[in-house]
A and B are shown apart, each in its own frame.
Chain A
Amino acid sequence: MRRETFVSSRGGWALIRSTWLSWMQYRSFFFILAFGWMIPPLIYLLVWSTAAGEGSISGMTRGAFVAYYLILILVNQITYAQTNWTVGDLIRYGQINKVLLRPIPPLYDALSSEIAGKVVYLVFVVPILVILAFVLKPELDLTLINGLSFLPALIFAWALRFFWGYWLALLAFWATRADALLALQDSLVFLLAGQVAPVALLPGALKTLAVILPFRYMVAFPVEVITGQLTRSEMLTGFAIQCAWMIAAVILYALLWRFGLKRYSAVGG
Chain B
Amino acid sequence: MKPFRLIGSFMRASFQEEAAYRTNFLISLFTSLLNLVTAVLGILVLYGQIDSLHGWTLASTLALLGVFLVVSAVRGLFISPSFDSLSGMDGEIWSGAFDFTVLRPVNTQFFASFRKWRLFALFDLLLGIGVLTAGVIQLGVTLSIWKILFFLAMLVVGMTILYAILLIFAALIFWSPGVLFTWVFDGLFQMARYPTNIYPGWLRMVLTWIVPVGVITTFPARALTDSITPVELIVSLLLAVVLLAAASILFRVGLRKYASASS
Report which A residues bind B (CB closer than 8 A). 28-29, 32-33, 35-36, 38-40, 43, 46-48, 50-51, 57-58, 136, 177, 179-180, 183-184, 187, 190-191, 196-197, 201-203, 206
Cβ distance A193 to chain B, nearest Cβ, rounded Å: 12
B49 touches A40 (CB 8 A): no
Cβ distance B135 to chain A, nearest Cβ, rounded Å: 17
Residue interface mask B35-61, A partner, CB < 8 A = 1 = 101100110111011100110000000
Query: Known contacts being A32-B183, A51-B46, A187-B34, is A196 close to B41, with CB within 8 Å?
Result: yes
Residue interface mask B191-207, A partner, CB < 8 A = 1 = 10110001110010000
Partner of B45, one of A35, A179, A201: A201
CA of A77 to CA of B49, assembled, Å: 27
CA of A252 to CA of B120, assembled, Å: 35
B187 at the interface (CB under 8 A from A): yes
User: Which residues of the other chain, B, contact A201 by a CB distance below 8 angstroms?
Assistant: 45, 48-49
CA of A210 to CA of B34, assembled, Å: 17
Query: Known contacts being A28-B178, A43-B193, A177-B27, is A203 close to B187, with CB within 8 Å?
Result: no
A35 touches B41 (CB 8 A): no
Q: Which of B30, B44, B49, B193 has the most CB of A within 10 A?
A: B49
Partner of A50, one of B23, B45, B54, B190: B54
CA of A57 to CA of B49, assembled, Å: 7
Q: Which of B34, B188, B193 has the most CB of A within 10 A?
A: B34
User: Which residues of the other chain, B, contact A180 by a CB distance below 8 angstroms?
Assistant: 27, 30-31
B179 at the interface (CB under 8 A from A): yes
Cβ distance A29 to chain B, nearest Cβ, rounded Å: 7
Can you identify 18 A-B contacts, CB atoms within 8 angstroms?
A: A29-B180, A32-B183, A35-B184, A39-B191, A43-B194, A46-B198, A46-B203, A50-B54, A50-B198, A51-B49, A51-B198, A183-B31, A183-B34, A184-B30, A184-B34, A191-B38, A201-B49, A203-B44
User: Which residues of the other chain, B, contact A58 by a CB distance below 8 angstroms?
Assistant: 49
B198 touches A47 (CB 8 A): yes
CA of A58 to CA of B187, assembled, Å: 29
Cβ distance A66 to chain B, nearest Cβ, rounded Å: 11
User: Which residues of the other chain, A, contact B187 by a CB distance below 8 angstroms?
Assistant: 35-36, 38-39
Query: Known contacts being A28-B178, A39-B191, A43-B193, is A203 close to B53, with CB within 8 Å?
Result: no
Report which B residues bind A (CB closer than 8 A). 23, 27, 30-31, 34-35, 37-38, 41-42, 44-46, 48-50, 53-54, 178-180, 183-184, 186-188, 190-191, 193-194, 198-200, 203
The 6 closest A-B pairs by CB, nearest first: A39-B187, A196-B42, A50-B198, A36-B187, A32-B183, A187-B38
Q: Which of A28, A51, A206 has the most CB of B within 10 A?
A: A51
B45 touches A202 (CB 8 A): yes
Cβ distance B105 to chain A, nearest Cβ, rounded Å: 36
B180 touches A196 (CB 8 A): no
Partner of B46, one of A33, A187, A197, A206: A197
User: Which residues of the other chain, B, contact A191 by a CB distance below 8 angstroms?
Assistant: 38, 41-42
Q: Which of B46, B193, B200 has the most CB of A within 10 A?
A: B46
Instruction: Give A36's nearest chain B residue, CB to CB.
Output: B187
User: Which residues of the other chain, B, contact A32 by a CB distance below 8 angstroms?
Assistant: 179-180, 183-184
User: Which residues of the other chain, A, contact B178 by a CB distance below 8 angstroms?
Assistant: 28-29
B199 touches A46 (CB 8 A): yes
CA of A187 to CA of B39, assembled, Å: 10
User: Which residues of the other chain, B, contact A28 by a CB distance below 8 angstroms?
Assistant: 178-179
CA of A40 to CA of B194, assembled, Å: 11
A190 touches B38 (CB 8 A): yes
Cβ distance A174 to chain B, nearest Cβ, rounded Å: 14
Instruction: Give A48's nearest chain B residue, CB to CB.
Output: B46
